[in-house]
Amino acid sequence: MKEPNTQGEHIIKFTGKASIPEPLKIGHGYEVLSKGEVTTITESDNNNGTHNLYYKFVPITSEIREELGELHIKAKDSRSNSKLIFDLHNKLWSDAQDDPRDMKDSYDDTCKEMMLALPELYKRAKAKNVEHKELEYPDNINSEVTAF
C-alpha cells in the first residue's frame, strides 16, 4: 500500500444478499443494519498521486427498519451450517488460553470428534423430528457464532 499522505478515499462496497420473509415496498425509505465481514481490500491508483482503498463487505445477518425506526424485517443468517460450525470453532479456539495446537490442527481434531459423534447426533435429531425446521441455537451458542 502507498504512503498515508497520498491516501485518497476509503470506499466500502456492499455485496451479497439477504433472504427476507416479507416483501419491501417501492418508494418507502428503509434503514439496513448488517453484521458481516470485510472479505477483500483492493487498491486503485487515481493517477493524480493518490489512491483509493476499496473494502468488499459481505453481510451475514441484516435487519431492515422503516424510516421511523420500527423493526420491519429480520433477514436470516445466510451462512451455511459448515461455516457456522467453523466460525464457532474459531471463536472457541481463540478464547481458549490453554490450547497448544494451532487453529488448523484444532479444527481438524474437532472435525474428527464431530464425525465420531455424528451417528448419535443424527439419532437425537431424528427423534426430535427437527428435520426441515429452522435451527435455533441456545442464546449462549448463538452469541458465540455471531461474534466477530
Give the C-alpha separation, 50 to 125, whole Å.
Answer: 57
Query: Using one digit for the tens of pLDDT, what is the confidence trace for 26-67?
Result: 887 888 888 888 989 999 888 888 889 999 998 888 888 777
Domain boundary (55, 74, 93) is at 74
Both 55 and 91 in a single domain? Answer: no
Task: Please tell me the predicted confidence (pLDDT) of residue 31.
Answer: 82
Percent pLDDT > 90 in the chain is: 20
- What is the number of domains present in the chain? 2
Give me 127's grid cell.
Answer: 427423534
Task: Please tell me the predicted confidence (pLDDT) of residue 125.
Answer: 82
Both 46 and 100 in a single domain? Answer: no
Domain of residue 85, residue span? 81-146
Task: Please tell me the predicted confidence (pLDDT) of residue 143.
Answer: 47
pTM of the model: 0.48
The three state secondary structure string of 13-39 is EECCCCCCCCCCCCCCCEEEEEEEEEE
* Phi, psi of 51, deg, nearest 5: -145, 155
Task: Please tell me the predicted confidence (pLDDT) of residue 144.
Answer: 47
Give the C-alpha separation, 41 to 7, whole Å.
Answer: 14
Name the helix (H) or strand (E) containing 105. helix 103-128
Both 63 and 87 in a single domain? Answer: no
Query: Using one digit for the tens of pLDDT, what is the confidence trace for 117-146?
Result: 999 988 888 887 755 555 555 555 544 444
Task: Please tell me the predicted confidence (pLDDT) of residue 130.
Answer: 56
Task: Please tell me the predicted confidence (pLDDT) of residue 117.
Answer: 93
Burial class (CB in 10 A: 0-12, 13-18, 19+), 28: exposed
* 57 contacts 14 by C-beta, under 8 angstroms: yes
Domain boundary (74, 89, 114) is at 74
